[in-house]
Amino acid sequence: MTDAALGFGLAMVALLLFSTAILTTKAASNRIPLSLGFLIATVVNVGFSAVALGVQLAWQQQGLQWNGLALALFAVAGAFSTYLGRWFFYESVVRFGPAKASIFQVSSPLFTALIAWLVLGERLGPVAALGMFMAVGGLMLVSTKPGFFPGRQAIALDAGGVEAAAPSLPATQAPGPGLHARLLQSVFLLGLGSSMAYAIGNVLRGSAVRVWPEPVLGGLVGAVCGLALHLVFSRDKLGLLMRLREADRKGAWLYALIGVATISAQMCVIAAMRYIPLSIVTLVTLCTPLLVFPLSYSIYKTKSDLNRNTLLGSALTLLGVAIIVFR
């Protein structure tokens, strides 16, 4: 198997896992609020990746060769993607709705390509670039219609595609009179902040895994960093523990499943970044609407998700991805 085929295969596995997480969140969010479910999923992210690392070490029967710089890059990537990107995205969803927020979200591969070109010298050929623009345009068409999450609920995407319930917002979220309030009222700045945070996280992860091929440990480090920031900025920590104890057990298990799916997908994303351009990995893992919309129609009977924009955008996205794969 060629490196390119392996990279695309890993990205496709991540896409399937992300789609599973979204569909599972539909059922889980009816039992436990998303803010509490995020904590459960993130704790499981840490626990499952730690178990996976233990299995890896036992299987290879040799210790890790530590790389301090790569470890730091994975940690900073977790801060940008697992926490900061989610915060910007969720803030934009709450204030302006999922349709507007998602338009910026699907632009993340373009920012990833730009930053990877400036920082890593990673370039896409004209045919691959054309395919990417077509795919991103198709995803934007699909995203103009809000998904099946009602009201203020949304799924927050990780840079490589990690999706989980939105995190608690930092205590500084309350808008005040002045520059901070004006920034929070700008859909452009919030959407751009989300897309840029995810793109930076992608480039940091890609840089780290190419000098230190440890995707499992990279996923663990990012998850620990995201969980730590979530706990630091969470308000009413004692109340949070009480709500955890009183949470619906079936809902908690569903969020635990989401945690397993999302961290497994994240490790696949990091591994794929060793073999194919970072922006292509990001693009593939953002194609979840192509699977989620028809599956949600089949499972949850959400007929409103299937419309002309969805069908046209799906066709354009698939054509763009096909151009990239078979170029």
At 186, is the secondary structure helix, strand, or coil?
Answer: coil
CA distances from 258 to 102, 227, 268 (A): 21, 15, 15
Quickly count: other Cβ atoms within 10 Å of residue 119's Cβ.
13
pLDDT at 304: 54
Q: What confidence category does residue 242 fall into, taking pLDDT thresholds of 50, 70 and 90?
A: confident
Whether residue 188 has pLDDT greater than 80:
no
Higher pLDDT, 305 or 11: 11
Q: How many domains does the chain have?
A: 1
Question: Mean of the pLDDT values across residues 119-124?
Answer: 86
* Tokens coding 301: 């009977």
User: Radius of gyration over alpha carbons of the chain, in Å?
Assistant: 19
Question: Mean of the pLDDT values across residues 206-217?
Answer: 93
The 8 Å CB, 24+ separation contacts for 87-90 are 87/167, 87/169, 87/170, 88/190, 88/191, 88/193, 88/194, 88/197, 89/154, 89/156, 89/157, 89/166, 89/194, 90/154, 90/156, 90/166, 90/167, 90/169
Give the β-pairing of 163-165 and 155-157.
antiparallel
* Tokens coding 278: 């970072």
pLDDT at 159: 36
Higher pLDDT, 118 or 143: 118
What is the b/e burial string over 218-255, where b = at least 16 CB atoms within 10 angstroms of the residue's CB?
A: bbbbbbbbbbbbbeebbeeeeeeeeeeeebeeebbebb
Q: Residue for token digits 């799916």?
A: 261
| Nearest-angstrom CA–CA distance, 247 and 19 | 25
109: containing domain:
3-325
Q: Which of 42-46, 191-195, 269-273 has the lowest mean pLDDT?
A: 191-195
Whether residue 198 has pLDDT greater than 60:
yes
Burial class, 1, CB count within 10 angstroms (exposed 0-12 / middle 13-18 / buried 19+):
exposed
Whether residue 8 has pLDDT greater than 90:
yes
| Nearest-angstrom CA–CA distance, 310 and 307 | 5
